[in-house]
Chains A and B, each alone.
Chain A
Amino acid sequence: MGVSISPALNKKIRAIDEMAEDAIERKLLQIAQDIVRLSPVDTGAFVNSWSFKDNPMGGRRKSSRGKPRQQLASSQRGKSLNNLVNDIITAVELGSTRGPSRADLQVSAAKYYFINGAPHAKYVDLKSGFSAQIRNLHG
């Protein structure tokens, strides 16, 4: 037995899909902004090691070793936010060539991660309480 769905209903379902996608994207962008805003900056290695991915492996990994210190925080944060925004758009938008719809194949990831691959990330977190602040803001 087949079930036919009227074109008008189909259109509404697509509109709801798009609204949900927009809402998710807005929330992820808010989290990305807070992550970048609260990341401490010295050499810029930590803040530029953030990635948004559908698995916790790999991602950006910058070492602070040998890098000049006391870098301009706003410039480093700007670069990092640019990276994260591109990651989010790639991961979330249906039309993206590397997003959840690839060549008519729906790829759904159960979880997404904001990950920091810097070798000294754990130490930075201990000293700054960074992840505790993000959890406080976004749960």
Chain B
Amino acid sequence: MASIYRDLRAALETKLAAVSGIPAISHENVSYDRTTGTSYVETSFLPTARRPAVRGLNPQQRYDGVFRVVCYAAEGTGPGAADEIADKVLEAFEATTDVSYTNSSDETFVVSIDYAEREGGGLDTPFYFVPVNIGFYIYN
């Protein structure tokens, strides 16, 4: 059985792109020139496990992972801007939310959000950042 990682990534990135008020998105392995003073978010798709959900032949797989969204805002302007972006991400990916995505083969995937939590902020000069970790799972 082929894996569905491409579709999982697409589901989560599409959902993020649709969140109102989110600044520019820097995707993995895509060149992004950040502009000092301009907020942006950086995404990482981090699968952690792909395990059979049941015993027996051809079992359904349970996929687990973390969709990480790091929210960047200008350094030295206080935490407000990054916090505001982080809140929007948290709200969009609240625990128990289902993220539905239909791929080009007309297959629909429903990714379940397990949790969404943020970490403490930090400096990556000339930006201040706040990471948000979104735990997800899906049976397929």
A pairs with B: yes
CB pair B66 A133 closer than 8 Å: yes
Interface of B is mostly: strand
Interface string of A123-135 (1 = CB under 8 A from B): 0001011001101
Answer whether residue A136 sits at the interface, using C-beta atoms and an 8 A cutoff.
yes
Q: For chain A residues 87-139, which have a beta carbon within 8 Å of chain B?
A: 122, 126, 128-129, 132-133, 135-137
Cβ 8 A contact of A137, one of B64, B122, B133: B64
CB pair B48 A126 closer than 8 Å: no
Nearest to B132 among chain A residues (CB) is A132
CB pair A126 B66 closer than 8 Å: no
CB pair A132 B68 closer than 8 Å: yes
CB pair A132 B46 closer than 8 Å: yes
CB pair A126 B44 closer than 8 Å: no
Assembly CA distance A122 to B48 (angstroms): 20
Assembly CA distance A117 to B123 (angstroms): 19
Assembly CA distance A133 to B122 (angstroms): 19
Cβ 8 A contact of B68, one of A122, A129, A137: A129
Cβ 8 A contact of A136, one of B66, B119, B122: B66
CB pair A126 B70 closer than 8 Å: yes
Answer whether residue B87 sits at the interface, using C-beta atoms and an 8 A cutoff.
no
Which residues of chain B come closer than 8 Å to A129, judged between CB atoms?
Answer: 44, 46, 66, 68, 131, 133
Which residues of chain A come closer than 8 Å to B133, judged between CB atoms?
Answer: 129, 132, 135-136
Assembly CA distance A122 to B64 (angstroms): 24
What is the interface of chain B, defined by CB distance below 8 A to chain A?
Answer: 44, 46, 48-49, 64-66, 68, 70, 119, 122, 124, 129, 131, 133, 135
Given contacts A132-B68, A136-B65, A136-B133, 5 further A-B contacts (CB under 8 A): A126-B122, A128-B44, A129-B68, A136-B66, A137-B49
Pairs across A and B, CB under 8 Å, 16 listed = A126-B70, A126-B124, A126-B129, A129-B66, A129-B68, A129-B131, A132-B66, A132-B68, A132-B119, A132-B133, A133-B65, A136-B46, A136-B64, A136-B65, A136-B66, A137-B64
Q: Which 8 interchain pairs have the tightest Cβ spacing?
A: A132-B133, A129-B68, A132-B66, A136-B48, A136-B66, A137-B48, A129-B44, A133-B48
